[in-house]
Amino acid sequence: MYRLLSFNGFKNGRLKKLWKNKMPLELKVFLWLAFQDRLQIGSALKRKHWKGDERCIVCLKKEDVNHIFFDCVMAKFVWGALKRL
């Protein structure tokens, strides 16, 4: 009933696979929050009238989920390091 009322009966297959995965629960919750665009990042905190800076502390660009995972120089470094494994 909750799914029907909140998502109009829509089931996200990616999230279903996420919960069945054998990774640690903390990582599952983190990824679920990222998929739902619910991470507490600069832009989301600014909408809640947070007094801090909404920019990334590494590269000083506007922080959003895409920036954290793909656009930031630190994210690019991590992805590059993982690619070499």
φ, ψ for residue 76 (rounded to 5)?
A: -65, -40
Together in a domain, 45 and 84: yes
Together in a domain, 34 and 44: no
pLDDT tens digit sequence for 60-81:
998 888 898 899 999 999 999 9
Together in a domain, 70 and 31: no
SS3 readout for the chain: CHHHHHHCCCCCHHHHHHHHCCCCHHHHHHHHHHHCCCCCCHHHHHHCCCCCCCECCCCCCECCHHHHHHHCHHHHHHHHHHHCC
Together in a domain, 45 and 85: yes
- Considering its fold, how many domains does the chain have in total? 2
Q: By residue range, what is the domain housing residue 65?
A: 40-85
Together in a domain, 48 and 79: yes
pLDDT tens digit sequence for 18-46:
888 899 999 999 988 888 878 888 877 77
